Chain A
Amino acid sequence: MEFIKQPWPWYVAGPLITLVMVSMMLFGKSFGVSSTLKTVCSIGGAGKVSEFFRFDWKTAVWNLFFVAGSLIGGYIAATYLSPDQAIDLSEKTVASLEGYGILNPGVEYLPTSIFNWGNLLSFQGFLFMIIGGVFVGFGTRYADGCTSGHAISGLSSLQWPSLVAVIGFFIGGLIITHLILPFVL
């Protein structure tokens, strides 16, 4: 039990993620999370304005159970399996964040000085939460997959479009992290 309560190293987490992917395949489905956002649009009636959302969403309900489970898993892990949330970040990362005025980087899972309700109406909060969220939803659908569908499932089955997508993930991530964050953190 003590081991479970410690942060899990990469060589435990990576193989377990493979296990999740394989179990989905054995259940006759393919592992990929971002399509649930499309399903939510369809259920909400988006099919009225775009044929992209006109499909029988009942065939995708299984994936809503998966993401509902993920949310519950996040609650269980945070509530019962994590005595504290401190993250052992690299010293360079901590130093850079402190340089931008982020207090106590890594004490929680994310910088609550940015991600909080009061900050939503500021430029910073709007950029990180709302613009960021819109990019995630738009980009994953245009790319036809996210980290699970492309980086894990797609690369595992050696598909070229998935490698292109992962290169795209890094182009976008590097632009924000190195060119934009220094000005908005």
Chain B
Amino acid sequence: MKNLKFLISGVLFGIILTKAEVISWYRIYEMFRFESFHMYGVIGSAVVLGIIAVQIIKRFNVKDIHGNPIVITEKSKVFWPPLLGGTIFGLGWALTGACPGPIYIVIGNGYLVFIVVFLSAVVGTFLYGLVMHKLPRR
């Protein structure tokens, strides 16, 4: 089954983010108060190693498991969407203490009330689809 590898990657992701407390509301609160290095260490080390990994993939033209060249998804070069969208997401991140990955993982941790947070995020995505053309797009 070709989707099994994604399921297994997801299981690892869920375990990593739970064990490193990245899914904790308290850790997010602490991060936005600059009172611990923990979250900066997690994200910072992931990014530094990620930069190295991406450079290696580009230099050596690493192929994926299907033999195709690995294509880096380019984000569209606009300013207001990432700034305004990012700010709105930041408001939500600090309130819920969870970005999208952790929303799923927190539910798995047994905090079933986060099903409401998940459904609210789906509603938020739907609302974006309704008003997207009225928002700054460049």
Contacts and interface: CB of A to CB of B under 8 A. Distances in A.
Contacts of B96: 128-129, 132-133, 136
Interface in B48-87: 49-51, 53-54, 57, 62, 64-66, 68, 70, 72-79, 81-87
Nearest to B136: A142
A75 B90 contact: no
A122 interface: no
Contacts of A156: 46-47, 50-51, 53-54
Interface string A104-126: 01100111100111001000000
Contacts of A101: none
Chain B: number of interface residues, binned into ranges: 35 or more
Among A138, A144, A145, A147, which residue has the most Cβ atoms of chain B within 10 A? A138
Contacts, number: 495
Interface residues of A, number: 125
A173 B43 CA distance: 16
Interface in A37-81: 37-38, 40-41, 44, 46, 49-50, 52-53, 61-63, 65-78, 81
A40 B88 CA distance: 21
Nearest to B99: A147
Interface of A: 4, 7-18, 20-30, 32-34, 36-38, 40-41, 44, 46, 49-50, 52-53, 61-63, 65-78, 81-82, 87, 89-90, 92-93, 96-97, 105-106, 109-112, 115-117, 120, 127-148, 150-162, 164-178, 181
A8 B104 contact: no
A136 B108 CA distance: 19
A81 B18 CA distance: 10
Contacts of A154: 75
Given A22-B57, A78-B108, A133-B121, 13 more contacts: A14-B49, A18-B53, A20-B9, A68-B10, A69-B10, A70-B10, A73-B18, A129-B113, A137-B120, A141-B128, A166-B86, A171-B90, A178-B32
Interface in B111-130: 111, 113-114, 116-130
